[in-house]
Structure 1
């Protein structure tokens, strides 16, 4: 079966499986910036699969279908695909649909663990609204981080895809329509911003919630994204937000009742 794959790093396990099991990958589409799709890019380079970064138009996709492509697999891809007459079109979504529709479910799942899971559903013009083909829940433990939840999704998604591909026609035909749903909106940058006047416990919770996505720091009146931070409660005499220590690799800032260590390699300036 000839497949076109659309996706980024979180579900790269699925592309790796498709290649290993001998499915014919006609081409792969990724989003930019490159760091969100580095694992996909490396797989394509290794196996000489054509890689595209443009947003595909309907004419482009219909041409691929006319050349024999039978399936579109979408997995953590940010563009909405135009409707086509491809035989099979599925999306892999990191929640237990119909709960948790939306572009960034993972941070919300720490608050609503009952919605944590992976869903394969038919791709339609309703975002995340297609008939549910297969699902698998992904349990979340107390004080877990978005990063560990992401890795669990990475593992479970490929297991679900294997099941689907073992009997595509049967699973596709027996998909069930979604009913009432909940929606998780795109995370606003202000929700990821650290307030040094808040408790260390609150800051730690926010770091767990946004992990590999990053929290936002305001330093010297500029906004920075930070992905690697450590915290500890500790009594001190510094005002909240004061730089306590800095060297080439580390920046340490006081919170209201502790310290926050920011590893500089994980910092990136927000335009």
Structure 2
């Protein structure tokens, strides 16, 4: 955006909602650029503050607050990690891996009163690789967002004045705890998909009577007579646990502080 003359004035981020990596990146950028960083919900009271700073554009991504655009006379756009109107809803990236479909991609659309429903300015699909992880897919989506941003802001007014309305779509709810909790009675293929889908955002698992936060691991099928959930080996940051039809080797995990 900066390459096209956009100047950042203030960042807003809800700490309890945003991934830790997002918070750290915004903190670092705001400090390096001397940009205000506000950790609170975005509400109507913010609009006048932005007007006072001569702000003309509000950009959101992964925002759980409804922007009061009905009281905003300038531009407002949102970035969403799917090809809308498919996969509306909060942070569908996990589900792109849990249950791959043709919904993955980036859409930049006009912000309206309804989440993820505004007219589309620009979008592009992105295929999900066979062994995709949350971290790899998130990185690829960010790169695609940068690409589309460059195209959009090369002729922003034309795109904004000629949007494509959204049709009927579907809604993907936020992932539930039971969906990112490893069940040793599942087959290793399903366990592997859950580990990859959460990646550094961490799935959870229970063994040695403790709950652990899991970042990465590998699985393989192998016949055995062990009870699912049996700890076969553990040392430092490695552990092998028996599953229904094989074994899971956890390669990066820590005791869950939650």
Give the equivalent residue in structure 1 for 2:78: 91
1:46 maps to which of 32, 35, 45: 32
CA gap 1:176/1:206 in 2 versus in 1, 3 angstroms: same
Q: Is the 8 A contact 2:4 2:153 kept in 1?
A: no
TM-score, normalised by the number of residues in structure 1: 0.84
| Alpha-carbon offset, residue 237 of structure 1 | 4.1
Deviation per CA, 1:137-174, whole angstroms, max 9, x where unpaired?
A: 11223343333221211100011111111122111110
**C-alpha distance in 2 between matches for 1:152 and 1:97:** 18
Could you say what secondary structure the match of 1:227 adopts? strand
**C-alpha distance in 2 between matches for 1:270 and 1:81:** 33
Give the equivalent residue in structure 2 for 1:215: 203
1:31 and 2:14 matched: yes
TM-score, normalised by the number of residues in structure 2: 0.88
2:92 maps to which of 105, 108, 119: 105
**C-alpha distance in 2 between matches for 1:270 and 1:96:** 35
**C-alpha distance in 1 between matches for 2:254 and 2:105:** 30
| Alpha-carbon offset, residue 20 of structure 1 | 5.7
**C-alpha distance in 1 between matches for 2:170 and 2:100:** 11
**C-alpha distance in 1 between matches for 2:22 and 2:225:** 40
Give the equivalent residue in structure 1 for 2:63: 77
Q: Is the 8 A contact 2:84 2:107 kept in 1?
A: yes
**C-alpha distance in 1 between matches for 2:7 and 2:174:** 34
| Alpha-carbon offset, residue 268 of structure 1 | 5.1
CA gap 1:31/1:19 in 2 versus in 1, 3 angstroms: farther
**C-alpha distance in 1 between matches for 2:175 and 2:221:** 27
What is the alpha-carbon root mean square deviation over aligned residues? 2.1
1:198 and 2:186 matched: yes
Give the equivalent residue in structure 1 for 2:113: 125
Could you say what secondary structure the match of 1:190 adopts? helix
Q: Which 4+ runs in 1 deviate beyond 6 A?
A: none
Deviation per CA, 1:28-79, whole angstroms, max 9, x where unpaired?
A: 1123154442222212222221111111221222221233100001122333
Deviation per CA, 1:81-127, whole angstroms, max 9, x where unpaired?
A: 23331411000000010111000211332334311111000111100
**C-alpha distance in 2 between matches for 1:182 and 1:270:** 35
Q: Is the 8 A contact 2:229 2:243 kept in 1?
A: yes
Give the equivalent residue in structure 2 for 1:58: 44
